[in-house]
Structure 1
Amino acid sequence: MIVSTCVGLIAGLGSLFILPYSPRWLVSQGRTQEAKAVLGLITEHSEEEERKELLSLPPRGEKAGWSDIFRKGVRGRTILGAFLNVFQQLSGIDFVLFYAPLLFTQAGLDPKTSAFVASGVTGLALFATTALAATWVDKIGRRTLFIWGGFAIAICHACIGSLYASGAAYTEGGKWAIVTLIELYTIIFAGTWSLVTRLYSTEIQPSRTRSPASSFCIGVNQLVNTLVALTSPAFLAKIPFGPYFLYGGLSAFATAVAYIYMQETIGKSLETIDSSFHESPTAVTWPPSLLRTGSRRTQAGARRSSRRRSSAAHADENGKSTFPGHYAMERLGSSTGSAGLQGSAIED
């Protein structure tokens, strides 16, 4: 606990002297030269257009509000960013971090060892992995990291759940397999979903809506975080393997959705990212044969619907349609006439 606290304290204090102010904030304060100096540290001189784009600010009085992030053109990106943040929490990361001592004790470690592994080993592993991830996220790509990370997270959960469900977790070898898989899961999460989710949900937004959209996504993330923290202990006590299968399945689902909709943003300017989302809402190029099949089914369904509406409009035996667009009801009566219907609601 003392070691992890010292590491966090050093990192926090060091950031006060190392991390510069945001270029956009500096521009908003009229400190343009300082903003250019900061941009010079993080961008290449050849990226002049991107530098101009980063220094641009929304016109005065046109700052985006909450309703703007759901307007046509950015609504889909806001929903995608919120989706990724929701499922970042539904991968069970805070379930593992909050209740790590309990999880390790459940696996068979004594309380003292569980506390040491949960606070010391896990904390240092998360710090080191996150620091490394900051260097490779711009080389491997956001989409690639998220998809492969989600795949690995789902496998870790499935393996842990299977060990508990089969009873193998309660053997000496199974105990250490559980501990290893939990640590592996936290490392994979820190190197992929932890960084990529926050970064991606922000950079896919246009400059004008970036701030409110980022705030919305973080708020949704923390709301789900609270729900996971409140429900996980009872779930774990009732079914020891249940949370792992649940979070593993949700992680696999999020990975599949990300494969379809998460477009790569690495090496793209803000303008290019914006235009790519306008050109296509998905990141997958569907086979032409599949598209043709879907188009034919849609057209056939439209023709059937049109024929039904046409037949309904001419179904009345007198050539009139009392309720256009609906199927005509058959006239109630018999060969003896309509005397039995006198005074009724269906009398002509």
Structure 2
Amino acid sequence: MNTTYYMSYKLSLIASLAGLLYGFDSAVVSGAISHLSNYFSLDAAGTGWAVSSVVLGFMIGAFSGQFIAQSLGRKKALLATGALVFVAGIFTAIPYNFTMFIVFRIIGGIGVGLGSATAPVYIGEISAQKIRGKTLGFYQMMIALGILLVYLVNALVASWIPDSQWGTDYAWRYMLGAMAIPGCLFMGLALFLPESPRWLIDKNRDDEAKSVLTRINGAGYDCQTEITAIKKSFQAPAGAQAQSESLFSRKYRRVSLIVLTMALLANLCGINAVLYYGNVLFENMGIASARTAYYQQVIIGIAFFAAATWAVVNIEKYGRRRLLIIGSFICFVAITLLGALIWVGIASLWMLVLMVVYILFFGGTIGPILWIIIPELSPNRIRGKLMSWATFLIWTGSFIVSQTFPMLTDSVWLNHLFNGSFPFFLYGLFCLLWFLLNLFFVTETSNKSLEQISAEMSQA
């Protein structure tokens, strides 16, 4: 590791653990959902609500993130993330009823949503320009690691199950309760993070910002030049301050529409149907039993983590835009072919192969680059606000997929017409739209400073 960037790497790794909480919190239900459904006697809509309620929390946390991170600072927002996930992990494991379970699922989701709106902004603001792609990629790598870890936890708990009744009564409690451990760990580590220098400068705390910049870049770094450049990027044109802070003012309309469209389409590509309902999906396809489905989920988790790790290593080499275009097209092909196999009723390991291909290319392109390019594209003056709205829309897409997937697969009418393949054709359509968006509207952000990108994207 280059010692010049040691502190940037260190702080980014700590902040990116917010992504591990996201991966852990969101995917834990994949192993618990069948037991939960039996324990609370849930129908298709109730099952969808048990899964998607956490995403509603993500949306609330992401939306409120713009106010909390901007008023209290990035560090305090990240501390709140760990605290909320810790509490949720404990109480979702011991709910008195389904309502209490949903309440604490939402509370945990609020913490994760707050972290998802704050951590990428924080990482982008404390990272050196030449390694910003890698350090922002840490966030998605940690999401993938969190997913892999929770799949391993779920498989471990599943191996303890002596009979179906024990699984219904207790297995889901251990799976969900394990979430408190990374929540507590992150809360402790976040105490050692310095505040974002750009946030400090925005609050006219230049001396503190200089101290943080020196800590990150070394004693010989020209902090004053960077502080001057950052201050300039925050300045509004004379007489246009109110307008410049609007996401849809003439100055920011184009970049805001691009960022928000990217955010909404990303999860509509269907990734959460695979990550959240993988166990049920494998069983319904006829390629796994109730027990072996846990191990096939581990395969998915390994593929997702390997892809995210590859992206972190190679993001600066290949550039954001090229990877987005290639990845979205292959995701379109893989998920559409999977739908075709389901439609014609062919149950084979080719289904698992197509899912792994989809996971590899989503996890190596769309997944990590989304969290990298959105804060990069967002101009300094509206970054916090635009990131919160973008993250809100990311979770909106996730909520739609999480809530509707069991309902779509349970629909008699749709099954009569599509034989269970309709959701996958729908996700393929959104992958195609994502491909076209990046092909025609997204520009390259590699090897540019945040201030340079802000200046370019702010032009009318």
Q: Do the two structures share a fold, i.e. TM-score over 0.5?
A: yes
Q: Does 1:200 align with 2:370?
A: no
Q: Does 1:58 align with 2:234?
A: yes
In the alignment, the residues of structure 1 paired with residue 350 and residue 321 of structure 2 have an alpha-carbon distance, to the nearest angstrom, of 30
Counterpart contact for 2:327–2:361, Cα < 8 Å: yes
Q: Secondary structure at the match of 1:87?
A: helix
The amino acid that maps onto 1:223 is T
In the alignment, the residues of structure 1 paired with residue 187 and residue 303 of structure 2 have an alpha-carbon distance, to the nearest angstrom, of 20
Match of 1:339 in 2: none
Q: Does 1:104 align with 2:278?
A: no
193, 206, 211: which one pairs with 2:384? 211
The amino acid that maps onto 2:430 is L
Using a 3 Å threshold, how does the CA distance of structure 1 residues 177 and 69 change in structure 2: closer, same or farther? Answer: same
Using a 3 Å threshold, how does the CA distance of structure 1 residues 67 and 81 change in structure 2: closer, same or farther? Answer: same
Structure having greater relative contact order (Cα 8 Å, sep ≥ 6): 2
Q: Secondary structure at the match of 1:209?
A: helix
**Bigger Rg over Cα:** 1
The more displaced of 73-82 and 24-33 is 24-33
Using a 3 Å threshold, how does the CA distance of structure 1 residues 65 and 228 change in structure 2: closer, same or farther? Answer: farther
In the alignment, the residues of structure 1 paired with residue 329 and residue 209 of structure 2 have an alpha-carbon distance, to the nearest angstrom, of 44
Using a 3 Å threshold, how does the CA distance of structure 1 residues 63 and 193 change in structure 2: closer, same or farther? Answer: farther
Relative to the length of structure 1, the TM-score reads 0.67
How do residues 172-183 of structure 1 correspond to structure 2 at under 5 angstroms?
A: 174=348, 176-183=349-356
Q: Shift of the alpha carbon at 1:276?
A: 3.7
- The CA deviation string for residues 67-89 of structure 1, in whole angstroms up to 9 with x for no partner, is 61111111111111111111101
Relative to the length of structure 2, the TM-score reads 0.52
In the alignment, the residues of structure 2 paired with residue 264 and residue 49 of structure 1 have an alpha-carbon distance, to the nearest angstrom, of 25
How do residues 241-260 of structure 1 correspond to structure 2 at under 5 angstroms?
A: 241-260=421-440
302, 314, 321: which one pairs with 1:143? 321
In the alignment, the residues of structure 2 paired with residue 98 and residue 66 of structure 1 have an alpha-carbon distance, to the nearest angstrom, of 40
In the alignment, the residues of structure 1 paired with residue 316 and residue 365 of structure 2 have an alpha-carbon distance, to the nearest angstrom, of 12
Using a 3 Å threshold, how does the CA distance of structure 1 residues 198 and 276 change in structure 2: closer, same or farther? Answer: same
Counterpart contact for 2:283–2:293, Cα < 8 Å: yes
Match of 1:9 in 2: 182
Unaligned ranges ≥5, structure 2? 1-149, 154-177
In the alignment, the residues of structure 2 paired with residue 148 and residue 21 of structure 1 have an alpha-carbon distance, to the nearest angstrom, of 37
The amino acid that maps onto 1:9 is P
Q: Secondary structure at the match of 2:379?
A: coil
389, 399, 413: which one pairs with 1:226? 399
In the alignment, the residues of structure 1 paired with residue 285 and residue 269 of structure 2 have an alpha-carbon distance, to the nearest angstrom, of 20
Counterpart contact for 2:196–2:209, Cα < 8 Å: no
Match of 2:123 in 1: none
Q: State the identity %.
A: 23
Q: Shift of the alpha carbon at 1:257?
A: 1.9
In the alignment, the residues of structure 2 paired with residue 66 and residue 104 of structure 1 have an alpha-carbon distance, to the nearest angstrom, of 50
Q: Shift of the alpha carbon at 1:20?
A: 5.8
Match of 1:24 in 2: 198
The 4+ residue runs of structure 1 with deviation greater than 4 A are 10-21, 26-30, 44-52, 54-57, 62-67
Match of 1:189 in 2: 362
Q: Shift of the alpha carbon at 1:221?
A: 1.4
Q: Shift of the alpha carbon at 1:48?
A: 9.3
Q: Secondary structure at the match of 2:381?
A: coil
Match of 1:84 in 2: 262
Q: Secondary structure at the match of 1:264?
A: coil
Q: Shift of the alpha carbon at 1:202?
A: 1.7
The amino acid that maps onto 1:156 is A
Using a 3 Å threshold, how does the CA distance of structure 1 residues 36 and 155 change in structure 2: closer, same or farther? Answer: same
Kindly report the root-mean-square deviation, in angstroms, between the aligned alpha carbons of the 2 structures: 3.5
Q: Secondary structure at the match of 1:262?
A: coil
Structure with a larger share of its residues in helix = 2
In the alignment, the residues of structure 2 paired with residue 212 and residue 67 of structure 1 have an alpha-carbon distance, to the nearest angstrom, of 9
In the alignment, the residues of structure 2 paired with residue 224 and residue 231 of structure 1 have an alpha-carbon distance, to the nearest angstrom, of 11
Q: Shift of the alpha carbon at 1:56?
A: 6.3
Using a 3 Å threshold, how does the CA distance of structure 1 residues 49 and 162 change in structure 2: closer, same or farther? Answer: farther
Using a 3 Å threshold, how does the CA distance of structure 1 residues 271 and 23 change in structure 2: closer, same or farther? Answer: closer
Using a 3 Å threshold, how does the CA distance of structure 1 residues 51 and 102 change in structure 2: closer, same or farther? Answer: farther
The more displaced of 159-168 and 131-140 is 131-140
In the alignment, the residues of structure 2 paired with residue 214 and residue 123 of structure 1 have an alpha-carbon distance, to the nearest angstrom, of 27
The amino acid that maps onto 1:270 is L
Using a 3 Å threshold, how does the CA distance of structure 1 residues 80 and 226 change in structure 2: closer, same or farther? Answer: same
In the alignment, the residues of structure 1 paired with residue 339 and residue 396 of structure 2 have an alpha-carbon distance, to the nearest angstrom, of 26
Using a 3 Å threshold, how does the CA distance of structure 1 residues 192 and 177 change in structure 2: closer, same or farther? Answer: same
Q: Shift of the alpha carbon at 1:39?
A: 4.2
Unaligned ranges ≥5, structure 1? 282-348
Q: Shift of the alpha carbon at 1:97?
A: 1.0
Counterpart contact for 2:210–2:223, Cα < 8 Å: no
Counterpart contact for 1:89–1:228, Cα < 8 Å: yes
The amino acid that maps onto 2:213 is K
Counterpart contact for 1:156–1:182, Cα < 8 Å: yes
How do residues 261-340 of structure 1 correspond to structure 2 at under 5 angstroms?
A: 261-277=441-457
